[in-house]
């Protein structure tokens, strides 16, 4: 059975529409469900972030706050000099993780200024700091100058 020109065109449009609809659905769902917001420690307390939400936080690693135990659990405090959060993490920290330096952690907010992180990022080299951190520090007025990138 040969299709008419119109039928062929309709089939094409219908299949294109179906694929686009599926894709659009996936994108919208993923954007509503799978994105993570960035907060500074002060934002977390000020905005009353609910316990159990996934967050990305950034700031400086507080001096003398890093505690490691024998089974590779680490806790440290992240501060924006106003408020600070406790971050729990299991695993190896990045090469450039240091006290007093910028850090970004992603994980689940436990309430009570506690974050259970599954990812910790530090700056990549001496000239680079996560942009989120640099912006947050600039806003707080504790930016130490230097090149950001």
Partner 1 sequence: MMVELGHFALIMAFATALIQTILPMWGAIARDPGLAGMARYSAFVTFALVLIAYLALTMAYIGSDFSVVNVAMNSHSTKPLMYKISGVWSNHEGSMLLWVMILVLFAALVALRGGGMPERLLASVLSVQGAIAGAFLLFILLTSNPFLRLADVPMEGQGLNPILEDPGLAIHPPLLYLGYVGFSVAFSFAVGALVHGRIDAVWARFVRPWTLLAWIFLTLGIAMGSYWAYYELGWGGWWFWDPVENASLMPWLMGTALLHSTIVMEKRDALKVWTILLSILTFSLSLLGTFLVRSGVITSVHSFASDPARGVFILGILTLFIGGGLSLFAWRAPSLKQGGLFAPVSREGALVVNNLFLATSAVAVLVGTLYPLVLETINGSKISVGAPYFNLTTVPLFVCLLVLVPFGQSLAWKRGDLMGVGQRLLAAFGIALLAMMATFALTRGGPVAAPLGLGLGVWLIAGSATDIINRCYRRGSSLSAIFERAFGLPRSAWGTALAHAGMGITVIGISATAWGVESLAVVGKHEPLSVGPYTVSLEQAFKRKGEGFREDVAQFSVMEGASARGLIETSKRIHTGREMPTTEAGIVTYGLGQLYASVNEILPDGRVSIRFYWKPLVTLIWGGALIMALGGAISLADRRVRIALSTKTKRASSSNAEAKA
The interface mask with partner 1, positions 10-49, x = CB under 8 A, is -xx--xx--xx-xx--xx-xxx--xxxxx-----------
Q: Check residue 56 for interaction with partner 1 (CB under 8 A).
A: yes
Residues 6+ apart with CB under 8 A from 116: 88, 89, 107, 108, 110
100 counts as binding partner 1 under rule CB under 8 A: no
| Under rule CB under 8 A, residue 91 binds partner 1 | yes
Residue choice 41, 59, 107, 130 for contact with partner 1 (CB under 8 A): 130
Closer CB to partner 1, 60 or 122, in the complex: 122
Contact region with partner 1 (CB under 8 A), list: 8-16, 59-67, 75-83, 108-116: 8-16
The H or E element containing residue 21 is helix 5-33
Q: How far apart (Å, rounded) are the C-alpha atoms in residues 25 and 105?
A: 30
Q: Give the nearer residue to partner 1 in terms of CB position, either 103 or 112.
A: 103
Give the residue among 128, 116, 74, 118 at the shortest CA–CA distance from 99.
74
Distance between CA atoms of 129 and 120, rounded to whole angstroms?
13
């Amino acid at each position: 059975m040969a299709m008419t020109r119109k039928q062929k065109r309709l089939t094409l449009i219908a299949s294109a529409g179906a694929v686009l609809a599926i894709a659009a659905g996936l994108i919208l769902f993923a954007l509503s469900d799978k994105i993570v917001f960035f907060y500074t420690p002060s934002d977390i307390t000020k905005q009353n972030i609910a316990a159990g939400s996934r967050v990305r936080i950034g700031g400086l690693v507080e001096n003398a706050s890093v505690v490691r135990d024998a089974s590779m659990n680490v806790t440290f405090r992240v501060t924006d000099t106003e408020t600070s959060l406790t971050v729990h993490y299991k695993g190896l920290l990045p090469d450039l993780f240091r006290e007093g330096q910028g850090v970004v952690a992603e994980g689940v907010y436990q309430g009570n200024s506690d974050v259970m992180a599954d990812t910790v990022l530090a700056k990549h080299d001496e000239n680079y700091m996560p942009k989120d951190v640099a912006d947050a520090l600039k806003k707080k007025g504790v930016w130490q100058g230097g090149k950001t990138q």
